Structure 1
Amino acid sequence: MAGFRLRDITPRGLYARSMLMVIAPVVLILILMTWYYYDSHIAEVNRKLGQSIARDTSLVQAYCAGGNDAGLDREMIRTGLDLTFTCDSHEDDFDRSGYASVFSYSRTLDKELETRLEVPVDTALNPKDSMLHLRFPSEGRTAEIIVERKRVLTITSHFFIVWVIIFSLFMVALAIGFLNQQVRSILRLAEAARAFGRGREMPDFRPSGANEVRDAARAVIDMKNRLTAFTEQRTAMLAGVSHDLRTPLTRLKLELAMMEPTEEIKAAQADLDDMSMMLDEYLTFARGEEGDEAVTFDLAKLVRDIAAGFGPHIDVTGPESIRVHGRPLAIKRAVSNLISNAMKFATETRVTLVDGPHAADIHVDDNGPGIEPARREEAFRPFMRLDEARTQNTSGTGLGLTLARDTARAHGGDLRLSDSPLGGLRASLRLPH
């Protein structure tokens, strides 16, 4: 059984986590402050008010019990009772229709009254005039006291909580606005990094947000510029080397053609032909990188045009139209390499197009000998030819799969090899929309 991990119950997104970090402390502080305010301060205030009412009620109880002497009268005048009472309350005068029971703080008042009077007290609140009625027995008589609720209970305490909630919501709104600004910069950086990884340009991208986010954005831009410069330098060097080697190769071909045609001469001519073909592929690759800008195009139409160039026997199935964004020439070269490889080693080749929700897949299947699963990754190495798994005596440079995977990954996709339904090898080229 896996151990408990906090990340299993917390949000995964940065924005959600930031919101949780802002809202959770505010809510916790609000709950603790409200609990302390009501449990400590308000409870103490209501206890003091209850004691005051209980003291006045005890005077009324003594008065109704027949202790109306001069000392008691003077005490009642001195305290200045701010209440109305009667010593002979009738049942009809205590009509409970329309009355509401006092809320939870009445327990404090009831406790103080019962402690002071030592008799049960019946309490009711008239919601029409907010007057509190206290009714209790006194020496065979029924006394009733009518007092304003504000003398008994703190009735404005909820205003404090309301204002605390309002200011808390205001602070949360400010925090949300700030977080939106910061998270938007991070999302913009992620979008730019994703676009750069797929070979797309974002000319309107500028570093923004906090200093750390700006530093990360500048680092991404610098990395993209260095990679672009490296790619351009590699392409230029490859084109220059390929072009410069053509002259000595042509001279060697001419010299061999003028010699006596022996087996050794024929083998040397075959080697020169292979070298010439390799140079042609290098030049084709180098020229394909130049001027091939990323655009939105119909991948399904491009694949069908490529298959048609290999002959009518290449079956293409799938949607009639798939819109993707990328470099058409590079993708065309990659798909052509996959179909050409399949045709070299098999008698049947089939192309299947799949339009997924986030990416498009091109499956090239053949019925050839295939490649062992343990050696499929080796097939992507430059100049690697797995003759043990494929038919011998086939021409090629060993760069087809390498360039195809480079093209797929440059667009944010990938190229994978697996078993084909036809019994041979399946090459699956994935390109994001």
Structure 2
Amino acid sequence: MLRLLRALVPRGLLGRSLLIILLPLVILQAVALQIFYGSHLDVISRRLAAGVAGDVGMVAELLARESLREERAWIFRQAAWRLDLALAFEEGATLEPPARRGASMPLLPLEEDLAAALGERLRRPFDTDWQSDPRSVIIRVQLPDGVLHVEAPRKRLFASTLYLFVIWLVGSALILFVVAALFMKNQVRAIRRLAAAAEAFGLGRDIGPIKPEGATEVRQAASAFNAMQERIRRFVAQRTEMLAGISHDLRTPLTRMRLALAMLPRRGGAEGGEGQDDIAALTQDVEEMERMIAAYLAFARGEGTEQPVAADLVQLVRDVAARARRDGAEIAVEAPPEPLVLPLRPDALRRCLGNLLDNARKHARRIAVTVGRVPRAAGAGGAWAQVTVDDDGPGIPEEAREEAFRPFASFSAGGTGLGLAIARDIARAHGGDIVLERSPLGGLRARVRLPV
């Protein structure tokens, strides 16, 4: 039962708000309608039915006492004028058992009340016909010498206030529903805009400040979001400026060291192989330091100010794979023939995929890259654009795969431990993620998923 109720309850804020507002009203009106049916309508219906039944019973008794045609004609005229009853007499006829018919007014107790009143006041065989005439009820009464047909207007059996009551119930509910829907729609629209702005800002899109609107609390949330957005932008700008200074301060002495090492053999006049080996080793160390500094700065800088643009993921993967092949990697690419266009930061995603291919190239001889579209989890809707990088290397133990994404975590000699950290940071900034699994080739599989 709880699961069924949860499935019926709306998931959106608009639907739930309308349910909170309208459900108590509907319950209250249902109780009021039941009280009306159980007391007022029931009493009125019985009284009106008793009045019609009394008139029919009086006319039937008078006709049973008077057998002269002239007297009966006078009774017919008086009933039509004073009682609003149309009479007809079928001499010598016998009342047949009535055919079973469905109720003509199932929501009202009119038929049952009239039948009970006629049975109490007539004490003769009778039947009622509610189907033949939509404006009247035909009552047939068995008399000693024939059958009396009485046509009574239906308006004598129920009060018109019932229609006003039902119209008031339904009309008030509809008016409240329309007013609540229009009001709550404006409030929910402001919340949706705030959620969309937060989602876009989380994906690195520069959307600018949003306009506060809606209720006071929603306006406060929008103003707080704008302030937070500005503080984050200011922090990123300050960090970028600081990193630019660090880059200049660190690379300048390294450049002087490289120049000094390049000039050292000429100034020292060293001709021996041992001196040349030392100089080459020092030069290699300087180059490694420069690569490490570049990697650290790339990790700290993230994606910079690059904005998403519509780009073909298939072509981007092919370009990255072609560059890795020029560096000596053996890579097979499997991709659909049609383009897979989605909002991307091309330079950042090239860095992400390049890091994954570099890691695979250091540990494996064979690399396979697959590009495609996969559905999201059940109930989530939409699809993922997926890039998988498989290799036949030694892989990473399952318990250490999440640790591999931490900065400066290295599972091989010579690495800075920032490649996977940078790759995941870029994927998550796109709204996706990277997971590591065991590859069908025997090594490691890196699965990159991006929202379509």
Q: Which residue of 2 aligns with 1:37?
A: 36
Partner Cα separation in structure 2 for residue 374 and residue 129 of structure 1: 81
CA contact (8 A) 1:135 1:144 kept: yes
Contact 2:407 2:418 in 1 (8 A): yes
For residues 87 and 243 of structure 1, do their structure 2 counterparts lie closer, same or farther at Cα, with a shift above 3 Å needed? closer
Confirm or deny: 8 A CA contact 1:110 1:121 kept in the other structure.
Answer: no
Q: Distance in 2 between matches of 1:134 and 1:100?
A: 16
The verdict on how the C-alpha distance between 1:430 and 1:126 changes in structure 2, with shifts beyond 3 A counting, is closer
State whether structure 2 residue 395 is matched by structure 1 residue 370. yes
Q: Which amino acid aligns with 2:219?
A: R
Residue 134 of structure 1, CA deviation: 3.6
In structure 2, C-alpha distance between the alignment counterparts of 1:100 and 1:282, rounded to whole Å: 85
- AA matched with 2:433: D
Corresponding letter in the other structure for 2:9:
T
The alpha-carbon distance between structure 1 residues 91 and 409, as it changes in their structure 2 partners (threshold 3 A), is farther
Contact 1:346 1:368 in 2 (8 A): yes
Identity among equivalent pairs (%): 40
The one-letter code matched in structure 2 to 1:417 is: L
Work out whether 1:383 is the aligned partner of 2:413: no
Amino acid at match of 2:437: S
Q: Which moved more, 1:135-144 or 1:222-231?
A: 135-144
Q: 1:123 aligns with which of 120, 124, 128?
A: 128
In the alignment, what sits opposite 2:445?
426
Matching residue's letter, 1:227: I
Question: Of residues 330, 336, 342 in structure 1, which corresponds to 2:348?
Answer: 330
Measure the CA separation in 1 of the matches of 2:433 and 2:230: 23
Structure 2 residue runs of 5 or longer lacking an equivalent are 68-77, 269-273, 375-381
Secondary structure of the corresponding residue to residue 11 of structure 2: coil
| CA shift in 2, pair 1:167/1:195, >3 Å | same
Q: Residues of 1 paired with 2:324 and 2:131: CA distance?
A: 96
Q: Give the drift of 1:343.
A: 0.7
CA contact (8 A) 2:22 2:173 kept: no
> Counterparts of 1:52 and 1:288 in 2: how far apart (Å)?
90
The verdict on how the C-alpha distance between 1:106 and 1:6 changes in structure 2, with shifts beyond 3 A counting, is closer
* Distance change (3 Å), C-alpha of 1:125 and 1:352: closer
Alpha-carbon shift at residue 369 of structure 1 (Å): 0.8
Deviations 1:141-200 (A, max 9, x none): 765544433223336633542453244333323332233322222222222221111111
Report if the CA contact (8 A) 2:427-2:448 is conserved: yes
- The C-alpha deviation readout for 1:67-113, integer Å capped at 9, x for no partner, is 99xxxxxxxx9xx952458796526699999x998755122122123
2:189 partner letter: R
Give the corresponding residue for 1:401. Answer: 420
AA aligned to 2:334 is T
> Aligned pair count?
416
The residue number in structure 1 matching 2:49 is 50
Deviations 1:92-140 (A, max 9, x none): 699999x998755122122123223333433335855834444435677
Is the Cα–Cα contact under 8 Å of residues 100 and 127 in structure 1 kept in the other structure? no
How far 1:338 moved relative to its partner?
A: 1.1
Equivalent residue number for residue 91 of structure 2: 90
Partner Cα distance (1:129, 1:311) in 2: 89
**TM-score w.r.t. length of structure 2:** 0.77
How far residue 405 of structure 1 moved from its aligned partner, in angstroms, is 0.9
Alignment of 1:278-297 (within 5 A): 278-283=292-297, 289-297=303-311
| Deviation per residue, 1:186-223 (Å, 9 max, x gap) | 22222222111111122484232222222223333333
Give the conservation status (yes or no) of the 8 Å contact 1:207–1:218.
yes
CA contact (8 A) 1:102 1:124 kept: no
- SS at 2:435 equivalent: strand
* 2:157 corresponding residue in structure 1: 152
Q: Deviations over 1:340-369 (max 9, x none)?
A: 111111111222112345332221221111
Cα distance, 1:254–1:274 mapped onto 2, change above 3 Å:
same
SS of the residue aligned with 1:398?
A: coil
SS at match of 1:423: coil
Structure 1 CA distance for aligned equivalents of residues 135 and 387 of structure 2: 79
Shift of the 256–84 alpha-carbon distance from structure 1 to 2, 3 Å rule, reads closer
1:311 alignment partner, SS class: helix
**Aligned match of 1:226 in 225, 231, 242?**
231
Aligned partners of 1:86 and 1:144 also within 8 Å: yes
Cα separation, partners in 2 of 1:343 and 1:146, compared to 1, 3 Å: closer
Q: For 1:207-218, what aligned pairs fall within 5 Å after superposition?
A: 207-218=212-223
Equivalent position amino acid for 2:389 in 1: V
- For residues 236 and 37 of structure 2, the distance between their equivalents in structure 1, rounded to whole angstroms, comes to 70
Contact 1:316–1:351 under 8 Å retained in 2: yes
CA distance in 2, matches of 1:53, 1:289: 88
* Bigger shift: residues 333-342 or 212-221: 212-221
1:26/1:168 contact within 8 Å kept: yes
From 324, 333, 338, the equivalent of 1:310 is: 324
